[in-house]
Amino acid sequence: MEELNALFHGFAVALSPLNVLLMFVGILLGVVIGVLPGLGGANGIAILLPLTFTMPPTSAIIMLSCIYWGALFGGAITSVLFNIPGEPWSVATTFDGYPMAQQGRAGEALTAAFTSSFVGALFAVIVFTFLAPLVASFALKFGPPEFFSVYLLTFCSFVGLGKGAPFKIIAAMMIGFALAAVGIDTVTGQLRLTFGWTEMMRGFDFLVAVIGLFGIGEILQSMEEGLAFQGKQAKINSRIVLETWAKLPRYWTSSLRACLIGCAMGIVPGGATPASFMSYGVAKRVSRNGPKFGTGQVEGVVAPETAAHAAGTSALLPMLTLGVPGSPTAAVLLGGLLIWGLQPGPLLFVEKKDFVWGLIASMYLGNLAGLIVVLTCVPLFAAILRVPFSIIAPVIIVICAIGAYTVHNAMLDIWLMLLFGVIGYVFKKLDYPLAPLVLALVLGDRAEDSFRQSMLMSQGDVSIFFSNALVGGITALALVLLFWPLGASLIARLRYG
């Protein structure tokens, strides 16, 4: 039980008054950063990084990692209330969270989101505490073919999610892939699809598209439907938290599955965004409530939020033990470590015990602090929906515009956001699903990179995706999931036909 001793020592480090203060400051800043779409955790931490030079490294990482936790919590707030994902990993939370808010159950959805975030994080931190070295060696097994198979699995677990015609899903996904291809290509180093226009070489940022498609699109639709938010009648009840907690244990299987998916994706490192999508897709497949997903199911909020937070937390593990960041935010924290004169890598756990265990202890405490902060604010957040549409809509549009601008500090992104808003509106009217487009846009270029890296490695031989048990297993699972609906309908037809 060497870990437990070390952990208690870590708590002693993390519980100094300065560190506790920084923890709460970090959480509050993080929640604000998470709420503002565009200003993601990575940007927020990068901006604050130089301020931390005068602090001891342990205090600095505690504050910065708490910003990260805060951003993970905060991302859910606007997803649920306004259908605007504050962070990429909360896109999947909108699928059921927003319908719940429309039904006047915003408080319930937020409580479920925050609580499952906490559960996911706690699970990941426990894994972190006891299995760090083991888990790090698992991450080393992942080369380009393995990464591609994981992305393939994400796509396949997601196919058939919308209720629309399969053709529409494929069309939406292809548009997403095409948008993801714009900009510089990693493998050849060439600009693609920019048509000689230098403004385009940045590519289409996922966040800009999401803010437009979801946020602006939603506002356009609300305008058409009588200038009112349907969640207006939201009950505001301070007991909502306890009432929701009483219901949550029912979803423990979904929750556990989401924890496992999240941890695996964070460690690999695939990141929080694919984890949340995959978890939602798998829950829809496996759960008894599956067919009702998308209509405001608590389980549909629990699955992606748990996975996102588990992945976000475990993404720090490969950063500390291998020096490879599991998410953009982890990449910035990694830069911070180097600047503070710490060397992430296998020896960090041996040489800098105070730092590592202080950080791990702060993960427990920071997430607890985060949960307390956001839960006490649930009634307040839910009350926002009572503000008349005519007041809140312009505010949302301004926040969306600021968010789109902060992604790259580019004016073009604001115009693109508006354009995506119109596209989002048209998609909804024509009953095209947005989720496959978003998924393809966020994972498209990564999937493409890893596919082409694999092809370079194997000199063009596709069998590389079955070259060992790990990659072969994941690829096979992906294919099974892809053909599942087809197979299921065939079996049904044979049985009843």
Partner 1 sequence: MTMLKRAARTLAIALAGGLGLSSPGFAWEPTKPVEFIVPAGTGGGADQMARLLQGIVQKNNLMKQPLIVVNKSGGAGAEGFLAIKEAKGDPHKIVITLSNLFTTPLATGVPFNWKDLTPVAMLALDQFVLWVNAETPHQSAKDYIAAVKAAGPNKFKMGGTGSKQEDQIITVALEKATGAKFTYIPFKGGGEVAVQLVGKHIDSSVNNPIEAVAQWRAGKLRPLCVFDHDRMPYKDKITKDQSWNDIPSCKEAGVPVDYVMLRGIFAAPAAPKDAVAYYVDVFRKVRETPEWKKFMSDGAFNTTFMSGPEYVKWVEGAEGTHRTLMKEAGFLAK
Query: Which residues sit at the interface with partner 1, rule CB under 8 A?
Result: 42-43, 46, 49-54, 139-144, 183-191, 194, 198, 201-203, 318, 322-325, 328, 331-332, 334-335, 338-339, 341, 343-348, 408-409, 449, 453, 456-457, 459
> 224 or 461: whose CB is closer to partner 1?
461
Q: Report the nearest approach of partner 1 to the CB of residue 138 (Å).
A: 10
> 93 or 454: whose CB is closer to partner 1?
454
Say which residues have a Cβ less than 8 Å from residue 136's Cβ, sequence separation at least 6.
Answer: 267, 317, 318, 321, 322, 346
Gap between the terminal Cα atoms of the chain: 60
> 111 or 314: whose CB is closer to partner 1?
314
Strand partners, 184: 191
> 17 or 460: whose CB is closer to partner 1?
460
Q: Report the nearest approach of partner 1 to the CB of residue 273 (Å).
A: 16
Q: Report the nearest approach of partner 1 to the CB of residue 35 (Å).
A: 20
Q: Are 72 and 308 in contact (CB under 8 A)?
A: yes
> 9 or 452: whose CB is closer to partner 1?
452
Could you give the CA distance from residue 8 to residue 346 in angstroms, rounded to a whole number?
Answer: 22
> 71 or 481: whose CB is closer to partner 1?
71
Q: Report the nearest approach of partner 1 to the CB of residue 234 (Å).
A: 37
- What's phi and psi for 409, nearest 5 deg? 55, 45
**Residue 191 DSSP class:** E
> 143 or 290: whose CB is closer to partner 1?
143
Question: HEC states along 396-449?
Answer: HHHHHHHHHHHHHCCHHHHHHHHHHHHHHHHHHHCCCCCHHHHHHHHHHHHHHH
Nearest Cα residue to 47 out of 64, 27, 59, 69: 64
Q: Report the nearest approach of partner 1 to the CB of residue 190 (Å).
A: 6
Q: Report the nearest approach of partner 1 to the CB of residue 347 (Å).
A: 5
Amino acid at the residue 427: F
How does 84-110 read in b/e, with b if 16+ C-beta sit within 10 Å?
A: bbbbbbbbbbbbbbbbbbbbbbbbbbb
**Residue 269 DSSP class:** T
Q: Report the nearest approach of partner 1 to the CB of residue 335 (Å).
A: 4
> 133 or 388: whose CB is closer to partner 1?
133
Could you give the CA distance from residue 111 to residue 470 in angstroms, rounded to a whole number?
Answer: 37
Q: Are 276 and 144 in contact (CB under 8 A)?
A: no
**Residue 341 DSSP class:** T
Q: Report the nearest approach of partner 1 to the CB of residue 474 (Å).
A: 15
Q: Report the nearest approach of partner 1 to the CB of residue 178 (Å).
A: 18
